[in-house]
Structure 1
Amino acid sequence: MGVLWGVVTVGMAVSAGGGPVVRAQEPSDTTIAAGRRIYTQKADCQACHGWAGDGQKMDYQSPDGANLRVSTLDRDQLIFVIKCGLPGRDMPAFDRLSYTDDRCLGRTRADLGRMGLKLPDPATTLQSREIERVADFLLTKVVGQGEMDRAKCVDFWGEEVDVCSEF
């Protein structure tokens, strides 16, 4: 169990390099807003990762999500994790075809079962462009942004909202 996903996790961490993420083209404000809506509403990522992506989950019945604010994953790695999840680690796969073909390391759900790895069902599935928008939102507003404060909160939501008064 740990070998396959340990290799994936270590490979992602090593290849991320810890430096700033550089993209060929910055996502538009519309793309970022769409990604935030998918994160907070459709996919309900905040249930596990918290509205700020800091791992302070919104639903205490949900699994503990990673603190994405300290993540070093790049865009391709985020897209992979959102699409394929992390079997055995409570991160669901949001691509409806994950583990039906070779898109997730060539593994199927049957392979995961033989390996003793569970993969929770997502609240909903996402299309590829929706997954990309979530990744763009995360890279712009969450990943590598450090601890949340009032200014980051207003920037995160695009306006002053009640939750920002906590900071």
Structure 2
Amino acid sequence: MMIFGHAYLARALLACIIGICFSVTDVAHGQSAGTPDPTDAGKAIFKRANCMGCHKWHGNGGGGYGGDALSLRKTELTRELIIETIGCGRPGTGMPFFLRGAYDTIKCYGALQADMAGNMPPEAGSFLRGNDIEAVADYVLAHIKGRSEPTYAECIGFFSQESRACNVYKTDSAASPENKPKER
């Protein structure tokens, strides 16, 4: 009976040590064991609401259906201003508003639609709830704002898998032979 007790205790101790090792590895890589990134919801909404249609997956901006989108990497907007911009759009630009009732029953930038005199931003293809808008703002702050040029690792992280779109971010030393152009 005593041997069984010691064997059981040894296995329990070993399982605990292994669990701690995996937890330490996850923490060293910026993740807590079993805890998803709290900004994953914001990333999903960023994709679903087609923010990447103009701002691109990396947030550097560029041409899109609404014109040249500004770089979210270089933005100096605070969380509150990012939330307002998503909800109310940007008057006089192609940045759409995502908040239902914006400019109708909810004043944006202190104005309603009648006050906009032709500077009304476009309506987004779909509306977002307030907590969804906040989630996108939190995602932008955690993963885009203040970052330097996009990297291969960021690209893979955004798409959650290998994507051909990420190949342009591979360095020559990191590119595998099958991803390099064939010489003719």
Do both share a fold (TM > 0.5)? yes
1:150 to 149, 152, 160: 152
Shift of 1:147: 1.0
Which ranges in structure 2 are unaligned for 5 or more consecutive residues? 1-34, 170-184
Matched residue pairs, number? 135
Alignment partner, residue 80 of structure 1: 84
In 2, are the aligned partners of 1:49 and 1:55 still within 8 Å (CA)? yes
* Partners of 1:61 and 1:72 in 2: CA distance: 23
Q: Give the root-mean-square deviation of aligned CA atoms.
A: 2.0
SS in 2 for 1:72: coil
Which ranges in structure 1 are unaligned for 5 or more consecutive residues? 1-27
* Partners of 1:107 and 1:61 in 2: CA distance: 25
Alignment partner, residue 90 of structure 1: 94
2:44 to 27, 30, 37: 37
2:163 to 158, 161, 164: 161
Distance change >3 Å, CA 158–CA 120, structure 1 → 2: same
Deviations 1:88-132 (A, max 9, x none): 1111110011112354133111111xx231321211110000000
Instruction: Please state which structure has a larger fraction of its residues in strand.
Output: 2
Q: How high is the sequence identity, in percent, across the aligned residues?
A: 34
List aligned pairs for 1:97-136, cutoff 5 A: 97-112=101-116, 115-136=117-138
The amino acid across from 1:87 in the alignment is: P
* Partners of 2:94 and 2:66 in 1: CA distance: 9
The amino acid across from 1:141 in the alignment is: H
Shift of 1:35: 0.8
Larger Rg: 2
Deviations 1:57-108 (A, max 9, x none): 4xx5442211111111111110010011111111111001111235413311
* Partners of 2:66 and 2:110 in 1: CA distance: 28
Alignment partner, residue 24 of structure 2: none
In 2, are the aligned partners of 1:141 and 1:156 still within 8 Å (CA)? no
Alignment partner, residue 177 of structure 2: none
Alignment partner, residue 54 of structure 2: 48
* Higher RCO structure, 1 or 2 (CA under 8 Å, sep 6+): 1
Are 1:141 and 2:147 matched, yes or no? Answer: no
Alignment partner, residue 75 of structure 2: 71
Alignment TM-score, normalising by the size of structure 1 = 0.72
The amino acid across from 2:39 in the alignment is: I
* Partners of 1:163 and 1:48 in 2: CA distance: 16
SS in 2 for 1:94: strand
In 2, are the aligned partners of 1:101 and 1:107 still within 8 Å (CA)? no
